[in-house]
Structure 1
Amino acid sequence: MRHTRTLLAVAAATSLALTACAPGGGGDDAADEDGPIKVGIIADLTGATGDVGTPYAAGEEAYVKWLNENGGIDGREIDATVTDYAYDVPTAERVYKEYVNDGVVAVMGWGTGDSEALKSRVSADELPFMSASYAEPLTDPEEAPYNFVVAPTYSDQARVGLNWIAEDGKSSEVALFHNDSPFGLAPVADAQEWAADLDLNVEPYAMPAGSTNYTGLLSQAKKQGAKYIMIQNVSSPAALVAKDIKAQGLDMQIVCLNWCADELFIDTAGAEAAEGHVLVQPFAPVSAEQPGHDEVNAYLEENGSSLEEEGLHFAQGWYTMHAMAEGIRAAVEEGDLSGAGIKEALETMGAIDTGGVVGAGEIEFSADSHRGSTGTGIYQVEGGEMAPVELGATP
């Protein structure tokens, strides 16, 4: 596996031997029935979302290593290159171009900004693209024919969270704190529309990057009358919100969506500050003890770690890579290892088993929808753990 941490490093590496790749993906190496199968990974290891991007990318890498150690795909190894784009969209675009020149058959992306910026290019290049963005437009094959979304969308997660809030019934006012980026904004309009049908009011508040506290935003939310703070951001800033709520003695409950609904949020906030907050998380935490965790944990224990140490985002990266690898496997079996062949395989191969880790346990795409799953877990922090409230919740 080629492993590059910066754009300069990957540029130096790929300048030595670039392979021309016509639209359709693949290049000469993909056509070689005995050669490695190239996949490009765009990761955030050092940028604004690196706290969750690092374990996610580690899970992707680990899956590739595990797969290769277990015979690869029809005897062929996956040759994966990992590049840190530091959450910078222009860097992602340059890295993507280098991957295309290098002859990859598929790309694993990261953020909403880069996924949306690249969707027309991956379509033109016919390269299947899976990322850690669950923005709803990426599930529409007419708008993004080569993008595949393995988990419930951010909008579906927000809808599930708002359903829980409506049932909990402490207040009709909801403050939606969000990352100040396309990722953060992705579910806002859909959440507001859904909330109106539930007689709730959602007011969005952008969370300034690099803030050391969010007392100002909480003051605005208090004036709104909000008792619920839905958060569309990563774990570290969400943990600061929890600490501020605790420090000020505010009667507010956090409802975290995917990227702050994790063990890192609890550990960073501290068990006392995190206690009672609600986490909408489509990927089962380690405490859920799903069968799909066993394979990941066995690999980690052989390498001196454990899933408890690495966290749920590691398994998230593992099973996203697993979904793409299964599409590649099906394309190889059909004798068409091209981008178009992988796309067709993903749309027609049926359910991809994740042993209960993703959504309701399976990922399944079709030619009409690239939304791989709709079910998500709802958890509540109890004694420093993610205790299940409802599994497989859908809007």
Structure 2
Amino acid sequence: MTSARGWFPTRISPMDKRLLGASALALCMACGGGGGSEEDDTILVGAIFALTGATSDVGTIYADGVRDYVGWVNSNGGIDGRPLMLLYQDYGYRVDRAEQLYSEFVSEGVVAFMGWGTGDTEALRGRIADDQVPFMSASYSHVLGDPKEAPYNFLAGTTYSDQFLIVIDWIVENHPDGSPKIALLHHASPFGLSPYEQLGRDYAAAQGIELMAQEMPRGSTDFTAELTRLREWGAEYVVFQNTSAPVSVVLKNAASLSMTIPFFCLNWCANELLVELAREASEGVVGAMPFAPPASEGVSGLEEARAYLLLKDGSALEDQGVPYGQGWWTMAVMTEGIRRVVHDRLPLTGKNVKAALEGLADFDTGGVTFPITFTGENHRGAKGMRLFRVEEGRWVPLTDFRHAPSK
């Protein structure tokens, strides 16, 4: 069968899970099919995507970015002539399913892995280390960037905690008098609590800032009760750690309650989908954006993705949005580690890919992200980001790159 985008021949597990562009098939034929030497073997990378479930609103777009980057690499000759093959499947945002698929793909010989959620990535980190499989997920949980805790996990985006701290700093700088009262409205999961429990709570307390964490029940279609609770507490600012669909409901509820306090989104609701869903209720929302929106000026790092989409199916990058670029560039950073191992003619092992990634210093993404640096002591690749604000239905820059205050 063909993929949802109608360009790649795919099979989903156990039969429908392989992604290999038509150009990659040609590369395989050129190097003698499944045989040949190490230099002409197909390079296997595993992936789990949230194509269904609680975070599929942004998960499907992110997955398209990852898959299309693989297609782009293969259409440009692969990695020194070796095609990439992505073994992937939807895991429905379920930790148990993630663990099952991870084991399955590792047993098939993947040299790297692309993940998704915070709960499943944190649950897998011990096995990832034991298996020595470099792992990049769409979770930017701060602890996952600590090699002492997660030696084979790498974060291409600014951590949730650093995003939160940058937002807190901006609020403090622009708050008129005294200490602000900030509420974190969060997804009911480890993902939701990550920026609060990892640095956020302590950082706010050290500055005398009152910080409240309020859970957003999964599947809720109205958050009036939560907003009423925040109003009674005296919240002056609301920061969201959730995805676009539920946050759009909150913004509409807030408008109906005539709440005019500033709203901030950490990265998974700071995107075009939020504006599309919330419409005028999204005006003025400030977004923490580790990855630049496609409409950003002077960002050369999205031009290849833009050209690829146009050639593939005539679609526009602006129609895909921020999560697409996140997926594209996360896969690009992982591929750079693989590329360096292949280029140096070293055995293509997870250990060597890890070492190659730890050699990235100020890796340039063409303005899409803060320059990425990994070391043996720190796998939090992007130590800063920009803030954007919705103005007349578009995300426009509010700041230049701001450095995270954490070490």
TM-score where L is the length of structure 2: 0.89
Deviation at 1:331, TM superposition (A): 1.1
| 216, 219, 229: which one aligns with 2:225 | 216
Distance change (3 Å), C-alpha of 1:254 and 1:12: closer
Structure-to-structure mapping, 1:175-214, within 5 angstroms: 175-189=183-197, 190-214=199-223
Distance change (3 Å), C-alpha of 1:3 and 1:302: closer
2:117 aligned with 1:106 = no
CA displacement 1:8-49 (0-9 Å, x = unmatched): 655899xxxxxxxxxxxxxx9897221100001111011110
Deviation at 1:93, TM superposition (A): 0.3
| 337, 347, 355: which one aligns with 1:327 | 337
For residues 335 and 17 of structure 2, the distance between their equivalents in structure 1, rounded to whole angstroms, comes to 26
> Do the aligned residues in 1 keep the contact of 2:17 with 2:89 (CA within 8 Å)?
no
Q: Which runs of 5 or more structure 2 residues have no equivalent in the other structure? A: 1-6, 20-33
Number of the residue aligned with 1:158: 164
Number of the residue aligned with 2:378: 369
> Do the aligned residues in 1 keep the contact of 2:18 with 2:86 (CA within 8 Å)?
no
Deviation at 1:282, TM superposition (A): 0.7
2:368 aligned with 1:357 = yes
Number of the residue aligned with 2:309: 300
> Do the aligned residues in 1 keep the contact of 2:17 with 2:87 (CA within 8 Å)?
no
The number of equivalent residue pairs is 378
Distance change (3 Å), C-alpha of 1:251 and 1:7: same
Q: Secondary structure at the match of 1:377?
A: strand
Number of the residue aligned with 2:253: 244
> Do the aligned residues in 2 keep the contact of 1:43 with 1:57 (CA within 8 Å)?
yes
For residues 2 and 111 of structure 1, the distance between their equivalents in structure 2, rounded to whole angstroms, comes to 25
Deviation at 1:349, TM superposition (A): 3.9
Number of the residue aligned with 1:316: 326
Counterpart AA for 1:238: V
Deviation at 1:287, TM superposition (A): 2.2
For residues 31 and 47 of structure 1, the distance between their equivalents in structure 2, rounded to whole angstroms, comes to 41
Q: Give the root-mean-square deviation of aligned CA atoms.
A: 2.0
Deviation at 1:7, TM superposition (A): 5.8
> Do the aligned residues in 2 keep the contact of 1:233 with 1:260 (CA within 8 Å)?
yes
Q: More deviation in 176-185 or 189-198?
A: 189-198
For residues 109 and 65 of structure 2, the distance between their equivalents in structure 1, rounded to whole angstroms, comes to 23
Q: Secondary structure at the match of 1:141?
A: coil
For residues 90 and 140 of structure 1, the distance between their equivalents in structure 2, rounded to whole angstroms, comes to 24
| 355, 359, 368: which one aligns with 1:348 | 359
Q: Secondary structure at the match of 1:195?
A: helix
CA displacement 1:326-374 (0-9 Å, x = unmatched): 000111123121000000011124333211101xx42221111001011
For residues 241 and 105 of structure 2, the distance between their equivalents in structure 1, rounded to whole angstroms, comes to 30
2:102 aligned with 1:96 = yes
Number of the residue aligned with 2:348: 337
Q: Secondary structure at the match of 1:41?
A: strand
TM-score where L is the length of structure 1: 0.91
Q: Which runs of 4+ in 1 moved over 4 A?
A: 1-13, 28-31
Deviation at 1:69, TM superposition (A): 0.6
For residues 18 and 376 of structure 2, the distance between their equivalents in structure 1, rounded to whole angstroms, comes to 39
2:142 aligned with 1:133 = no
The alignment-based identity, stated in percent, is 45
Deviation at 1:173, TM superposition (A): 1.1
Q: Secondary structure at the match of 2:329?
A: helix
CA displacement 1:279-317 (0-9 Å, x = unmatched): 111100122131111111111111211111111110110
Q: Secondary structure at the match of 1:342?
A: helix
CA displacement 1:199-243 (0-9 Å, x = unmatched): 311100111001111100001100110021110000011111111
For residues 18 and 11 of structure 2, the distance between their equivalents in structure 1, rounded to whole angstroms, comes to 12
Number of the residue aligned with 1:25: none
Distance change (3 Å), C-alpha of 1:339 and 1:174: same
Q: Which runs of 5 or more structure 1 residues have no equivalent in the other structure? A: 14-27
Number of the residue aligned with 1:55: 61
For residues 104 and 8 of structure 2, the distance between their equivalents in structure 1, rounded to whole angstroms, comes to 14
Deviation at 1:129, TM superposition (A): 0.3
Deviation at 1:81, TM superposition (A): 1.6
> Do the aligned residues in 1 keep the contact of 2:95 with 2:123 (CA within 8 Å)?
yes
Q: Secondary structure at the match of 1:33?
A: helix
